[in-house]
Copies of this chain bind each other. A is one copy, B any other.
């Protein structure tokens, strides 16, 4: 098995391609050209072709790519063979929003359980997801094979939460807390920092308004 790793930005684009391809397939299309896929994103046709090349798929000249086939191939790359279990820690406003978000769309990656310190959330079923007290996290992780943990707790609790998840066997974290998590090198952390995103947006709003109108 080739253990070639795909570059980070390519993985991100593959997720987006998949979304668009699914929509196209649902709309009755069977084939797509690189420039069509590119137009739906903010990328160049050459970028699309290179990504497709990277994952080892081929289209035909003249007719473009077969949507169903390309979708399958992307799925082979992105979707883990046995499926990944995902747990959510932190059922505050953000945690609930995430549960609603993932419950709404029939996601390929369902959240199997949620945990929180607040006793009143224990036993609740929120947006279709069972909630437990945080104390039950370790035993839950030891019983199920969970590879991904979503950290949606306040900043102060984030590091402790991360450690518990990692000790339980989780290999990657999706971190919404505004802190840099200290994790072993064999654990992947994807940070989603809303405050930083907003500050960045505000900065570019400012610099945009200085530029020429187009």
Contact = CB atoms under 8 A, between A and B. Distances in A.
A96 B93 contact: yes
A19 B198 contact: no
A204 B209 CA distance: 38
Given A96-B97, A101-B194, A187-B208, A12 B200 contact: yes
A101 B193 CA distance: 11
A60 interface: no
A174 to B, nearest CB: 5
- Interface centre among A101, A201, A214, by most chain B C-beta atoms within 10 angstroms, is A201
Interface string A1-21: 001010010011001100100
Given A109-B202, A148-B201, A184 B214 contact: yes
Contacts of A148: 198, 201-202, 205
A131 to B, nearest CB: 15
Given A42-B180, A84-B206, A194-B101, A201 B174 contact: yes
A40 B159 CA distance: 13
A119 interface: no
A124 to B, nearest CB: 15
A70 interface: no
B194 A190 contact: no
A211 interface: yes
A137 interface: no
Interface string A136-158: 00000000000110100000000
B206 A147 contact: yes
A193 B173 CA distance: 16
Q: Lowest 10 CB-CB distances: which A-B pairs, in order?
A: A172-B205, A93-B97, A188-B204, A97-B97, A147-B205, A80-B206, A93-B100, A171-B205, A94-B97, A15-B196
